[in-house]
Protein backbone atom coordinates (compact mmCIF):
# COMPACT_ATOMS: atom_id res chain seq x y z
CA UNK A 1 0.00 0.00 0.00
CA UNK A 2 1.08 3.61 -0.33
CA UNK A 3 3.23 5.14 2.36
CA UNK A 4 0.89 6.86 4.83
CA UNK A 5 1.30 10.49 5.79
CA UNK A 6 2.98 10.59 9.17
CA UNK A 7 1.38 12.61 11.93
CA UNK A 8 3.56 15.17 13.69
CA UNK A 9 5.08 13.83 16.83
CA UNK A 10 8.24 13.44 18.80
CA UNK A 11 9.92 10.19 17.82
CA UNK A 12 12.34 8.64 20.26
CA UNK A 13 14.48 5.96 18.78
CA UNK A 14 17.77 4.16 18.85
CA UNK A 15 19.50 3.27 15.62
CA UNK A 16 22.08 0.60 14.91
CA UNK A 17 25.70 1.58 14.30
CA UNK A 18 27.34 2.07 10.90
CA UNK A 19 25.99 2.66 7.44
CA UNK A 20 22.83 0.69 8.06
CA UNK A 21 21.73 3.17 10.72
CA UNK A 22 22.37 6.01 8.27
CA UNK A 23 20.19 4.32 5.66
CA UNK A 24 17.33 3.85 8.10
CA UNK A 25 17.65 7.38 9.48
CA UNK A 26 17.62 8.84 5.97
CA UNK A 27 14.62 6.75 4.96
CA UNK A 28 12.69 7.85 8.04
CA UNK A 29 13.62 11.50 7.55
CA UNK A 30 12.38 11.38 3.97
CA UNK A 31 9.12 9.80 5.10
CA UNK A 32 8.62 12.81 7.35
CA UNK A 33 9.49 15.66 5.00
CA UNK A 34 8.39 14.28 1.63
CA UNK A 35 4.60 14.66 2.20
CA UNK A 36 5.13 18.26 3.34
CA UNK A 37 7.31 19.02 0.33
CA UNK A 38 4.67 17.68 -2.03
CA UNK A 39 2.15 20.09 -0.53
CA UNK A 40 4.25 23.18 -1.37
CA UNK A 41 3.33 25.39 -4.34
CA UNK A 42 5.21 24.37 -7.45
CA UNK A 43 7.07 27.69 -7.50
CA UNK A 44 8.73 26.80 -4.20
CA UNK A 45 9.86 23.32 -5.25
CA UNK A 46 13.38 22.64 -6.62
CA UNK A 47 13.64 23.30 -10.34
CA UNK A 48 16.51 20.88 -10.97
CA UNK A 49 15.43 17.91 -13.15
CA UNK A 50 17.94 15.69 -11.34
CA UNK A 51 16.40 16.62 -7.98
CA UNK A 52 12.93 15.80 -9.27
CA UNK A 53 13.92 12.32 -10.44
CA UNK A 54 13.86 9.69 -7.73
CA UNK A 55 14.01 5.94 -7.52
CA UNK A 56 12.64 3.89 -4.65
CA UNK A 57 14.86 1.29 -3.03
CA UNK A 58 13.60 -1.22 -0.49
CA UNK A 59 15.82 -1.96 2.50
CA UNK A 60 15.93 -5.76 2.55
CA UNK A 61 15.13 -7.11 6.00
CA UNK A 62 13.17 -4.06 7.20
CA UNK A 63 9.42 -3.77 7.70
CA UNK A 64 7.22 -0.89 8.84
CA UNK A 65 4.25 -2.19 10.82
CA UNK A 66 1.24 -0.16 11.94
CA UNK A 67 -0.59 -1.82 14.82
CA UNK A 68 -4.23 -0.98 15.42
CA UNK A 69 -5.23 1.70 17.88
CA UNK A 70 -6.30 0.07 21.12
CA UNK A 71 -4.16 -3.03 20.63
CA UNK A 72 -1.46 -3.83 23.18
CA UNK A 73 1.38 -3.27 20.67
CA UNK A 74 -0.26 -0.05 19.50
CA UNK A 75 -0.50 1.24 23.06
CA UNK A 76 3.14 0.32 23.75
CA UNK A 77 4.32 2.18 20.65
CA UNK A 78 2.18 5.21 21.48
CA UNK A 79 3.76 5.38 24.94
CA UNK A 80 7.23 5.40 23.36
CA UNK A 81 6.25 8.07 20.83
CA UNK A 82 4.78 10.28 23.55
CA UNK A 83 7.96 10.04 25.60
CA UNK A 84 6.27 8.16 28.44
CA UNK A 85 8.41 5.04 28.04
CA UNK A 86 11.78 4.15 26.47
CA UNK A 87 12.07 2.22 23.23
CA UNK A 88 13.14 -0.90 25.14
CA UNK A 89 9.71 -1.08 26.77
CA UNK A 90 8.16 -1.94 23.38
CA UNK A 91 10.86 -4.48 22.44
CA UNK A 92 8.77 -7.47 23.66
CA UNK A 93 6.47 -7.07 20.65
CA UNK A 94 9.42 -7.94 18.38
CA UNK A 95 10.32 -10.83 20.68
CA UNK A 96 6.79 -12.25 20.44
CA UNK A 97 6.76 -11.94 16.66
CA UNK A 98 10.17 -13.64 16.51
CA UNK A 99 8.83 -16.64 18.43
CA UNK A 100 5.66 -16.85 16.36
CA UNK A 101 7.41 -16.59 13.00
CA UNK A 102 10.67 -18.37 13.78
CA UNK A 103 12.71 -15.41 12.50
CA UNK A 104 14.75 -13.12 14.80
CA UNK A 105 13.37 -9.58 14.72
CA UNK A 106 14.37 -6.39 16.51
CA UNK A 107 12.49 -3.14 17.08
CA UNK A 108 14.69 -0.41 15.61
CA UNK A 109 12.52 2.65 16.19
CA UNK A 110 9.01 4.08 16.42
CA UNK A 111 8.09 6.48 13.62
CA UNK A 112 6.11 9.69 14.07
CA UNK A 113 3.14 7.81 12.60
CA UNK A 114 3.33 5.39 15.55
CA UNK A 115 4.62 2.62 13.31
CA UNK A 116 7.15 0.02 14.38
CA UNK A 117 10.27 -0.21 12.24
CA UNK A 118 11.23 -3.86 12.58
CA UNK A 119 14.42 -5.41 11.23
CA UNK A 120 15.46 -9.00 10.72
CA UNK A 121 18.45 -9.62 12.99
CA UNK A 122 20.93 -10.64 10.30
CA UNK A 123 23.75 -11.35 12.71
CA UNK A 124 21.61 -13.69 14.79
CA UNK A 125 20.35 -15.37 11.62
CA UNK A 126 23.85 -15.93 10.25
CA UNK A 127 25.28 -16.96 13.61
CA UNK A 128 22.60 -19.60 14.11
CA UNK A 129 23.08 -20.96 10.58
CA UNK A 130 26.88 -21.08 10.99
CA UNK A 131 26.62 -22.90 14.31
CA UNK A 132 24.24 -25.51 12.93
CA UNK A 133 26.29 -25.98 9.77
CA UNK A 134 29.50 -26.41 11.78
CA UNK A 135 27.93 -29.36 13.60
CA UNK A 136 27.39 -31.23 10.34
CA UNK A 137 29.87 -34.13 9.89
CA UNK A 138 30.77 -33.04 6.34
CA UNK A 139 31.49 -29.40 7.25
CA UNK A 140 34.99 -28.51 8.42
CA UNK A 141 34.30 -24.80 8.92
CA UNK A 142 31.35 -22.38 8.74
CA UNK A 143 31.82 -18.61 8.84
CA UNK A 144 29.25 -15.80 8.53
CA UNK A 145 29.96 -13.50 5.57
CA UNK A 146 30.07 -9.85 6.71
CA UNK A 147 27.83 -7.53 4.68
CA UNK A 148 29.43 -4.93 2.40
CA UNK A 149 29.05 -1.23 3.25
CA UNK A 150 25.95 0.58 2.06
CA UNK A 151 22.44 -0.77 1.77
CA UNK A 152 21.92 -4.16 3.45
CA UNK A 153 22.38 -6.86 0.78
CA UNK A 154 19.51 -9.03 -0.38
CA UNK A 155 21.10 -12.15 1.02
CA UNK A 156 22.61 -13.18 4.35
CA UNK A 157 25.30 -15.80 3.82
CA UNK A 158 27.52 -18.29 5.61
CA UNK A 159 30.66 -19.60 3.92
CA UNK A 160 31.21 -23.32 4.48
CA UNK A 161 34.23 -25.52 3.88
CA UNK A 162 33.43 -29.14 3.11
CA UNK A 163 35.16 -32.45 3.67
CA UNK A 164 36.01 -34.49 0.58
CA UNK A 165 33.06 -36.88 0.86
CA UNK A 166 30.47 -34.33 2.00
CA UNK A 167 27.12 -33.94 0.26
CA UNK A 168 26.50 -30.17 0.15
CA UNK A 169 22.91 -30.46 -1.07
CA UNK A 170 22.01 -32.82 1.75
CA UNK A 171 23.61 -30.43 4.23
CA UNK A 172 21.64 -27.49 2.80
CA UNK A 173 18.39 -29.44 3.09
CA UNK A 174 19.07 -30.15 6.76
CA UNK A 175 19.68 -26.46 7.44
CA UNK A 176 16.04 -25.55 6.72
CA UNK A 177 14.12 -24.58 9.86
CA UNK A 178 10.40 -23.89 10.06
CA UNK A 179 8.44 -22.70 7.06
CA UNK A 180 10.41 -19.54 6.30
CA UNK A 181 14.12 -20.20 6.88
CA UNK A 182 15.39 -22.27 3.96
CA UNK A 183 18.95 -21.39 2.94
CA UNK A 184 20.07 -21.74 -0.66
CA UNK A 185 23.27 -23.56 -1.62
CA UNK A 186 25.43 -21.73 -4.18
CA UNK A 187 28.96 -20.49 -4.88
CA UNK A 188 30.31 -16.95 -4.80
CA UNK A 189 32.43 -15.35 -7.53
CA UNK A 190 35.56 -16.90 -6.07
CA UNK A 191 34.10 -20.40 -6.01
CA UNK A 192 33.52 -20.58 -2.24
CA UNK A 193 30.47 -22.58 -1.13
CA UNK A 194 27.75 -20.50 0.50
CA UNK A 195 24.51 -21.09 2.33
CA UNK A 196 22.37 -17.98 1.90
CA UNK A 197 19.00 -16.69 2.99
CA UNK A 198 17.09 -14.67 0.40
CA UNK A 199 16.44 -11.57 2.51
CA UNK A 200 14.13 -9.95 -0.04
CA UNK A 201 11.99 -13.08 -0.22
CA UNK A 202 12.07 -13.53 3.55
CA UNK A 203 11.02 -9.91 4.05
CA UNK A 204 8.05 -10.40 1.73
CA UNK A 205 7.04 -13.62 3.49
CA UNK A 206 7.15 -11.85 6.86
CA UNK A 207 5.12 -8.97 5.42
CA UNK A 208 2.42 -11.40 4.33
CA UNK A 209 2.36 -13.24 7.67
CA UNK A 210 2.37 -10.16 9.90
CA UNK A 211 -0.25 -8.48 7.72
CA UNK A 212 -2.69 -11.30 8.53
CA UNK A 213 -2.70 -10.49 12.24
CA UNK A 214 -5.93 -9.07 13.65
CA UNK A 215 -4.05 -6.33 15.55
CA UNK A 216 -2.24 -4.99 12.45
CA UNK A 217 -3.52 -2.21 10.19
CA UNK A 218 -0.85 -2.56 7.51
CA UNK A 219 2.70 -3.70 6.81
CA UNK A 220 4.97 -2.10 4.24
CA UNK A 221 8.62 -2.23 3.24
CA UNK A 222 11.08 0.40 4.39
CA UNK A 223 11.63 2.38 1.20
CA UNK A 224 14.52 4.73 0.59
CA UNK A 225 14.17 7.41 -2.08
CA UNK A 226 17.46 7.90 -3.87
CA UNK A 227 18.51 10.42 -6.56
CA UNK A 228 18.27 8.89 -10.02
CA UNK A 229 19.84 11.75 -11.96
CA UNK A 230 23.42 11.97 -13.28
CA UNK A 231 25.84 10.74 -10.66
CA UNK A 232 23.03 9.60 -8.37
CA UNK A 233 22.64 6.19 -6.79
CA UNK A 234 20.52 3.69 -8.68
**Single pTM value for the model:** 0.72
pLDDT at 2 over 60: no
Q: What is the mean pLDDT of residues 118-137?
A: 96
219: three-class secondary structure by DSSP: strand
Return the half-sphere exposure (C-beta side, CA atoms, 13 A cut-off) of residue 185. Answer: 14
User: What is the reported pLDDT for 144?
Assistant: 97
- CB hemisphere CA count around 78 (13 angstroms): 9
pLDDT score, position 165 = 87
Res 89: pLDDT? 97
Q: Is the predicted pLDDT of residue 97 greater than 50, yes or no?
A: yes
Among 183, 228, 28, which residue's Cα sits nearest to residue 119?
28
Portion of the chain with pLDDT greater than 90, in percent: 65
pLDDT, tens digit, for every residue of 196-224? 999 999 999 999 999 999 999 999 999 87
Amino acid sequence: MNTPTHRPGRARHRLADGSRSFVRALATAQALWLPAALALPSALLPASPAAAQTAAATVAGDLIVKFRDGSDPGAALAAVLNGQRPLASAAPLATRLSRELGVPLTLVQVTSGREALLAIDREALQRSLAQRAAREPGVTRATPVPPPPGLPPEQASVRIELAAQASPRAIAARMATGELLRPRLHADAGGATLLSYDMAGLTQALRDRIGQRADVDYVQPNRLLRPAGPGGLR
